[in-house]
Amino acid sequence: MSYSPYAPPRNDPGPYGGGHYAQYPYQALGWKTTVTMVGIAATVALAAAQTGASLAFPDVLKHPVPENLGIILALGLLSLVAGGIGILTWIFFLVWMHQAAKNVRAFGQTGLEYTPGWCVGWWFIPLMSLWKPFDAMREIWKASDPESVGPGAQREWRASPVPATMGLWWGVYILNGVVGIVIALSHLDLSGGKATVAVGPENFVSHGLYAIAGVLIIMVMRQLAQRQSAAAERLTSGGAQAGPPAGPGAYEQPNPYAPQASGANPYT
């Protein structure tokens, strides 16, 4: 495909001016939502299974003997599977959140604070990760309101309410992190010249909180996927395309790259 020297830039100013935004196509969250939800459920179950197995065989790994080789291999396999699924689940969740952030831009929403990249990046910034990812999720939720998209929008996206489920999810998620650290410190063993962390029944408190947070984020993900589908349907049924307005006419300004009316080309 040849490039037209008279086409406007790919990143055009938004309809309200002041800045540029990328033009993203809308992509349904369907299968990403399903895979991530299954991964969250599996991660919760496998974490509890690991703790249960460690409590059932407390001395197998500390004092390995040939007779316990089968148990040792089973525990190692369980740990490997749990770790692998946990990592993949995090990756899928971040991919899901990144796509959700791109979709609200495909709806034509402007004035957004969190870019798709930073919706992911804030999870890895110390201290900032305590609230920035939650703020990003809140923004995505608000901007996905079907009543705030399209030419017949009934309200501005910032005025969209956020369900209590989202706040509960984040509160339990943070609480689980604090409880996990306290439990780990209480079982920290510095004897023998190396630091080890033992597993105790208290770990099931952390698993319980983790399970509650998992259920809550699954509820949020399902509802958000439904909101975005409804928003896309609203745009489509209204005769609009899911995506930022294109063309100079959408911004009520001339195309600076078009030839002059006299026919002279200022760029030749």
Task: Evaluate whether residue 241 is within a structural domain.
Answer: no
> In this predicted model, which residue has the larger pLDDT, 83 or 265?
83
Residue 261 lies in a domain: no
In a domain, 268, yes or no: no
Kindly state whether residue 65 falls inside one of the protein's structural domains.
yes
Answer whether residue 254 is part of any domain. Answer: no
> For residue range 157-175, what is the model confidence (pLDDT) as tens digits?
999 999 999 999 999 999 9
Residue 110 domain boundaries: 30-155+163-236
Question: Is residue 15 one of the residues assigned to a domain?
Answer: no
- Min mean pLDDT across 2-16, 189-203, 252-266 is at 2-16
Q: Please check the confidence at residue 195 and state whether its pLDDT lies above 90.
A: no
- Distance (Å) of CA 132 to CA 68, 129, 137, 241: 47, 6, 9, 31
Point out which residues pair with 20 in neighbouring strands.
13
Whether 109 has a pLDDT exceeding 70, the answer reads: yes
Specify if 225 maps to a domain. yes
Count of domains observed in the chain: 1
Query: What percentage of residues in the chain have a pLDDT greater than 70?
Result: 75
The predicted structure's pLDDT at residue 3 = 37
Q: Is the pLDDT assigned to residue 118 strictly greater than 90?
A: yes
Query: Is 6 a member of any domain?
Result: no
